[in-house]
Amino acid sequence: MSCATVRVGASCMLFMLSTGRVVVGAVGRPRVFPVRMPSGERYWTLLDDDLEPVVATDEFLRHLRFGRDAAESTTRTYAGGIALFLQWCALTGRDWRAAAGYLGMFMLWLRRAETGGDVVVPGPGAKAVRGPRRVNTVLAAVREFLKHQVIAGGDRRARDGAAVSGRRSASPAGGSSG
């Protein structure tokens, strides 16, 4: 195992690169990596092709592990599922913030496309690449990630849409803004 330092937020963290766990793929495909905190605890995150953390997913996975006390293995499973979602978004030219409306198409791709593939040819006799259990696990991770982004304010389009439509939002003091 080799070690490398990656800048995450305002702090540097040491993470272990395990060649047995690296998801090798095409450009634009996030890779799942473990992160070791200074305390010794670990969680899993996604890195882009430049080995930089994918910020939105890293924040979510850290929150999942340390804010919601999820198991390390849960962050690993969720990171893998979110990586597939982000890969599909890149392959289809969709921003992940807008892709939630296309989860049916993502499910078809998830069931039928080989990892790293962009061609889906469903038809009579075609075998599914991933079974229902794996598809449901990936969808659970993606749903939780998208919910977290809306709640945490990471989905700026949702907030901007509220401002454009004229809806008022509550101010921190409990009054209304505007």
Q: Is residue 174 part of a domain?
A: no
CA 104 to chain centre: 17
Confidence band, pLDDT 50/70/90 cuts, at residue 115? low
Segment 106-123 mean pLDDT: 73
Which band of pLDDT confidence, cut at 50, 70 and 90, is reported for residue 13? very low
The tens digit of pLDDT for each residue in 55-69 reads 999 999 999 999 999
> For residue 169, is it within any domain?
no
The C-alpha atoms of residue 52 and residue 91 are separated, in whole angstroms, by 20
Strand order in the sheet with 42-47: 2-8, 11-17, 31-36, 42-47
In a domain, 71, yes or no: yes
Mean pLDDT of the chain: 73
Q: Is 79 inside a domain boundary?
A: yes
Backbone angles phi, psi at 45, to 5 degrees: -140, 180
178 part of a folded domain: no
In terms of pTM, does the model score above 0.85? no
Q: Specify the pLDDT at position 172.
A: 38
In angstroms, rounded to a whole number, what is the distance separating the alpha carbons of residues 93 and 71? 33
Domain residue limits at 92 = 8-160
Q: How many domains does the chain have?
A: 1
Q: Is residue 171 part of a domain?
A: no
Which token pair is 17?
Answer: 């690169």
Quick check: is 13 in a domain?
yes
DSSP state of 129: S
- Summarised one tens digit per residue, pLDDT across range 23-81 is 222 236 789 999 999 999 999 999 998 899 999 999 999 999 999 999 999 999 999 99
- Using pLDDT thresholds of 50, 70 and 90, give the confidence band for residue 120: low
**Residue 172 domain-assigned?**
no
Report phi then psi at 168, rounded to 5: -95, 150
Pairing of strands 42-47, 31-36: antiparallel
Tokens linked to 102: 């296309």
